[in-house]
Chain A
């Protein structure tokens, strides 16, 4: 009986692991995360979507109500972030600069299946937890 439950648990783990792509490394793959960014003055939470489009990772972060905060792309070969749009209240040159660097670091972490990154200098922590794909569609 115990062995039976262990097998079920193992099977469930394998199914869940398949449902959660931690990074869209291959063309056409998508990954979805529950996003949480904490700063000394507050935090931002929401959802992040990443899509591999011809080798370039296109991403979007929006809050739980659906308001888009960021649209960006990441080139894994050059390890560079391009910000397409930033919500007006965050659209300042110094915020963009930090975001570009931090998102590039975060993408590298996600590629290694690490779901968090901390900018120690600016005391900003990023936690991106994968959301199971089949539940969201």
Chain B
């Protein structure tokens, strides 16, 4: 085990990208719990939310908050379902630029293949104990308006993302820790239903 770890640490950027890409291609499904901590710089306060995430290759994602608020975001192909206490909405991502971007960033961050998206992000990769840390700096204007940077933490053994940090222009930061990650298990199709 330690030999694998040492050899993983010596990988260069290109090899890390390749490993992540291979892992993303092999990941047919993924499901996990997540803990999202939003740090508010102005108020010096944190708010923590919990939820569940489901992914199915190549364009299905369910991001569901359960505590302290109920909110569901389901991406299925070109359609996005937004569900809260008040209402359900189905949006065509092709007709809504903002949701197209949100959906693309969420999906590619969770899977990790945004490392290969040179047009959207300038990426640097660092290696620490058991982790690859990829820092993604948005290159496009619309993304720069929202994020200063996005930091992805990859588990070296599995080459999958286990933490996403989103740092906003204001300095506010949202950290999403993915827990109990299970890959390539069958997920009920109803999970991704947008109706």
Contact = CB atoms under 8 A, between A and B. Distances in A.
Interface of A: 30, 32, 34, 36, 38, 43, 45, 47, 49, 51, 58-60, 62, 64-68, 71, 84-85, 87-89, 127, 129, 131-132, 135-137
User: Interface on chain A toward B: helix, strand, loop, or mixed SS?
Assistant: strand
Interface of B: 36, 38, 40, 42-43, 45, 47-49, 63, 65, 67-69, 71, 73, 84-87, 98, 102, 106, 145-146, 166, 168, 170, 172, 174, 176
A64 B36 CA distance: 10
A62 B36 CA distance: 13
B71 A45 contact: yes
Contact of B48 (A65, A71, A137): A137
B145 A88 contact: yes
A64 B69 contact: yes
Instruction: Kindly list the 7 A-B residue pairs having the minimum CB-CB distance in the complex, ordered from nearest.
Output: A66-B174, A88-B145, A66-B38, A64-B71, A136-B68, A135-B68, A131-B68
Contacts of A89: 98, 145
Which of A30, A43, A59, A60 is the most central at the interface, judged by chain B CB atoms within 10 Å of its CB?
A60
Contacts of B48: 136-137
